[in-house]
Amino acid sequence: MRIQDQVKEHFQFKVVHEDKKSGARAGVITTPHGEIPTPVFMPVGTHGAIKALPPNFLEDLDTKIILSNTYHLHLSPGSKLVKKAGGLHKFMNWPRPILTDSGGFQVFSLQRKSIKEEGAEFKDHKGKTILLSPETSIEIQQELGSDIMMAFDECIPYPATREYTKKSIDRTHRWLDRCIESWTNPKQALFGIIQGSTYDDYRDECLDELVKRDLPGYAIGGVSVGEGPELMEKIVKYTGPKMPKDKPRYVMGVGNPEDLCMIWENGIDMSDCIIPTKFARGGTLFTRRGKIRIRHKNYRRDFFPIEPNCKCYCCQNFTRAYVKHLFDSNEILGQVLATMHNIEFYKNMAEEAREAILDNRYSQWKEDFLKSYKKDDGSKNN
């Protein structure tokens, strides 16, 4: 029996409802570690931890799934150590689903690397030469024991010529076959990644090649790599609705609230990004009226919560003035509270979008959300 057929016993996806006026849809992903209502935004725990938050806080926030990074966990502490500890879930004491990326994007972000048929060669922080190949990427992810693994691919930079893009996607498809050959654990679902840069015909070609492999899920990769919001929207609008309807659709690395509204409208179920947690640690918090930079002098005597109607621990117990004081004093509690709030904001946003989809009012919800939400710094208006 093919591994693709075996995994169906442990991993399922069901579309619950499609909005009648848009392409948005609500679904449920079932994994060995729990169900994930969609659309869902996944916080990024690169090293097996969401920075500034212990796992029980994430459970209190009702986070359904997190993303961890194959490349970084391979470098430290090493996947074999994690496997010996009982897998990543046990190692980090996280009982809910985990998605691991393949390491392809991290290789893309390295200045010094060599992409060849065997895989991607680079030097680690100690100067040791490492070859990350389709086989080693899958081996690492299986040792980590994530619920969803990503196929190893080349994240194509922007801009890219047609010639470069064609060679890259052909190699990525050969790598995908090697990933499938290395995939042995049916409790782990393998998602393929659609590349193709900004070229519609190459996006079509990638999608066709991936669908032939009959994978449990599919992702749009190679966006949010410098192409700008207009081209990102073009790629997602073109590719998203063409992806199989009975499989989860994932856009990798997208996390601005306005971009999430766009991808959900085009039938995307999953996304991830470091934006909410990274911004939180820098003192930028998300609200329905836009971002606020809590270090701004306007908040020194502001005794309102970050978001008046937010139910997170931060907003229920502390004021903007106090959170500003924590950042000004370099107290780590400020980063903890800000991270809590931003994760809650993103979770609430996805939940509201889901409710709107179920009620066939997604387009109106999106319009109302974007009308309220402002891209500029809310410190000038609060």
Question: Which residues make up each annotated binding site for substrate?
Answer: 101-105, 153, 195, 222
**CA of residue 358 relative to chain centroid, distance:** 23
φ, ψ for residue 100, nearest 5 deg: -115, 130
With tokens 């890219």, the residue in question is: 160
Q: Active site includes 101?
A: yes
Residues belonging to the binding site for Zn(2+) are: 310, 312, 315, 341
**Strand ranges (E), 161-295:** 189-194, 217-220, 249-251, 270-273, 284-287, 290-293
**Strand ranges (E), the chain:** 12-18, 25-31, 34-38, 40-43, 66-69, 98-101, 114-116, 119-123, 129-132, 148-150, 189-194, 217-220, 249-251, 270-273, 284-287, 290-293
Any residues with CB less than 8 A from the CB of 330 and at least 6 apart, and which? none
DSSP structure string for 23-42: S-EEEEEEETTEEEEESEEE
Classify residue 303 by its DSSP letter.
Answer: -
Q: Is 353 exposed, middle or buried (0-12, 13-18, 19+ CB in 10 A)?
A: buried
In whole angstroms, what is the distance from residue 324 CA to residue 303 CA? 11
Is 376 within 8 Å of 314 (Cβ atoms)?
Answer: no
**Strand ranges (E), 156-211:** 189-194
φ, ψ for residue 120, nearest 5 deg: -110, 125
Q: Active site includes 60?
A: no
Which residue among 19, 101, 147, 259 is the active-site one?
Answer: 101
Is 144 within 8 Å of 68 (Cβ atoms)?
Answer: yes
In whole angstroms, what is the distance from residue 372 CA to residue 56 CA? 32
Which residue among 147, 269, 272, 302 is the active-site one?
Answer: 272
Q: Which two tokens stand for residue 149?
A: 């693994």
Strand ranges across the sheet with 98-101: 40-43, 270-273, 249-251, 217-220, 189-194, 148-150, 98-101, 66-69
Residues belonging to the binding site are: 101-105, 153, 195, 222, 310, 312, 315, 341
Cis check: omega of the bond before 159, within 30 degrees of 0:
yes
Q: Which two tokens stand for residue 281?
A: 């640690």
- Catalytic center residues: 101, 272
